[in-house]
Amino acid sequence: MALFMNWDRVSHLRTDEQSVLQDRRLRKYVRHQLPFSPYYRALFEKHKIGFDDIKTVDDLKRIPFTSKADIAPTVEDPVKPRQFILQPDEKLIKEHASKGTLAKILWGKLTQQDVQEKLEWEYKPIHMHFTTGRTALPTPFTYSSRDIELFRESGRRMFEVAGLTRDLTGLNGFPYSPHLAFWLSYFAMQTNMMTSLATGGGKVMGTQKIIDAIERLKMNVATFIPGYAYHLLREAAAQKRDFSSLKYLVFGGERVSEGLRQKVRELSAQLGAPDVKIIATYALTEAKTAWIQCTETTGYHLYPDLEVIEIVDKDGNVLPDGSPGEIVYTTLDWRGSAVVRYRTGDMCKGVEFGPCEVCGKTTPRIIADIQRSSEVREFQLMKIKGELVNMNEFYPLLSGEHDVEEWQVVIKKVNDDPNELDEIDVLVAPRHGVDFEDLKARLGRKIHNEVFISAQIKEEPLKKLLEQLGMESELKEKRIVDMRPKS
């Protein structure tokens, strides 16, 4: 039996057919896989939910949400994430495995060794990614051998959605690390049989060599964190390089604002690639994959056979189709680490159903502008002068500003005195030929109106700022730096 459903078929099912499919797959998953999860076994018992009770997507409402706090390890409980890994044993298999699987074992069609090997292939964790975050300890999400096959398949689907075909050459510009972006890009290029180069990003291969590779190997597709891509394209443009082979820039790991798209497009035009397509992705470590736009204007195309996405309000009430709200994720297929009704904290403007007006696929699409919680909650929401400030607002404001080349926000104490008030410096390298005083006045007003704080805006030479950002030395550039002494 094939491991995955045929993507061409899944991506063209009618909405009502998708519902039937999701109900069936959810029923099967909850009945035969979820009992292998120590966390969900305990949760179902506590709330008196039977594994047979969840028959349709609508029944999901009976299951309490899972939050980051339930999964993230703490100093007191460092093994928490292990509770989310499916771990079948003999007793659990006898109680919960599907009849087909049991029959094969009981009727001796499989030897003891066959059974052992199959179980290990399906469940034994062999690979992992970590979530990033400053407040919580890094949380591992594990993949079994079967999951790696599914991971490849989801990478294949992503590229298929975006029209990235095997005749194109690909450069993986994500930082080499145990994070989803690098590995999904790696497997997607490999599974799609693209001739590809995994660079490991600026820290590993270095910007200069990556620029050389794009030009000399005539790369057609490049995957990047958008902030780093901008830096690399600017360097390449200054060197008057030829990137005319470049057809697609695929971005991950950060929100892509319209202003940044505009600036990236201008640089690409200078490099001889005026028609480069800038495609964004939405990745979720907990979902173990990512979703992609089929073109610059569409939403992120979901895989209805692999997950259920619910949209809820702040009290956790499920909202009708098309409503804006928080994205809640439930797996329908993963082994290894698996989550059900996971509250992402990511806010979207809604999910679109029916055929996509660009590619015709009928898979639901999450509208592209998503406010990520990973940026807000655990990293960028900071207490400044006693007020909570959403530092996330700085990204579109400064990266999207046409006359800003690079920027960094530094939070410190007045005179570096721990008892003093907080102050915010916005360090800016303006574009060549821009009047700084004029830019400073404009930015000051914008920051005041959109971030609701007052900040000192200071001019910084580009070279020095790039060093401070760690463009070539950090996995991810240091945009927001908190220099206040820890209390």
Residues 6+ apart with CB under 8 A from 45: none
Q: Which is nearer to Zn ion, 357 or 450 (CB)?
A: 357
- Give residues in contact with Zn ion (CB under 5 A): 294, 298, 356, 358-359
CB of 304 to Zn ion, least distance (A): 14
CB of 23 to Zn ion, least distance (A): 24
Q: Which is nearer to Zn ion, 279 or 471 (CB)?
A: 279
CB of 302 to Zn ion, least distance (A): 11
Residue in the block written with tokens 């990293």: 379
Q: Are 276 and 268 in contact (CB under 8 A)?
A: yes
Helical H runs in 124-278?
A: 145-162, 180-191, 201-204, 207-216, 226-238, 258-270
CB of 300 to Zn ion, least distance (A): 10
Closest CA to 221 of 241, 190, 244, 247: 247
Per the document, the length of the chain is 487
Q: Residue 365 in 3-state DSSP?
A: strand
Using CA atoms, how far apart are residues 367 and 346, in angstroms rounded to an integer? 12
Please state at what angle helix 145-162 crosses helix 112-123, rounded to 10 degrees. 40
Closest CA to 477 of 412, 404, 424, 399: 399
CB of 362 to Zn ion, least distance (A): 10
Q: Which is nearer to Zn ion, 335 or 361 (CB)?
A: 361
Does residue 436 come out as left (phi exceeding 0), alpha (psi in the -120 to 50 range) or beta? alpha
Pairing of strands 404-413, 387-390: unpaired
CB of 306 to Zn ion, least distance (A): 17
Which amino acid belongs to residue 119? Answer: L
Q: Which is nearer to Zn ion, 30 or 359 (CB)?
A: 359
Q: Which is nearer to Zn ion, 357 or 387 (CB)?
A: 357
Q: Which is nearer to Zn ion, 21 or 358 (CB)?
A: 358
- For 316-445, list the strands marked E by DSSP: 325-331, 342-348, 351-352, 365-366, 381-384, 387-390, 404-413, 422-430
10's enclosing H/E stretch is helix 7-10
Q: Which is nearer to Zn ion, 39 or 291 (CB)?
A: 291
Q: Are 85 and 339 in contact (CB under 8 A)?
A: no
Using CA atoms, how far apart are residues 68 and 77, in angstroms rounded to an integer? 14
CB of 249 to Zn ion, least distance (A): 18
Tokens in use for 329? 């994720």
Residues 6+ apart with CB under 8 A from 41: 34, 35
Q: Which is nearer to Zn ion, 163 or 206 (CB)?
A: 163
CB of 365 to Zn ion, least distance (A): 7
Q: Which is nearer to Zn ion, 358 or 462 (CB)?
A: 358
Using CA atoms, how far apart are residues 380 and 66, in angstroms rounded to an integer? 22
CB of 354 to Zn ion, least distance (A): 11
CB of 296 to Zn ion, least distance (A): 11
CB of 18 to Zn ion, least distance (A): 15
Which amino acid belongs to residue 340? Answer: V
CB of 293 to Zn ion, least distance (A): 8
Q: Which is nearer to Zn ion, 223 or 298 (CB)?
A: 298
- For 285-359, list the strands marked E by DSSP: 289-292, 300-301, 307-312, 325-331, 342-348, 351-352
Q: Which is nearer to Zn ion, 174 or 282 (CB)?
A: 282
Does residue 69 come out as left (phi exceeding 0), alpha (psi in the -120 to 50 range) or beta? alpha
Beta bridge partners of 309: 329
Q: Which is nearer to Zn ion, 125 or 304 (CB)?
A: 304
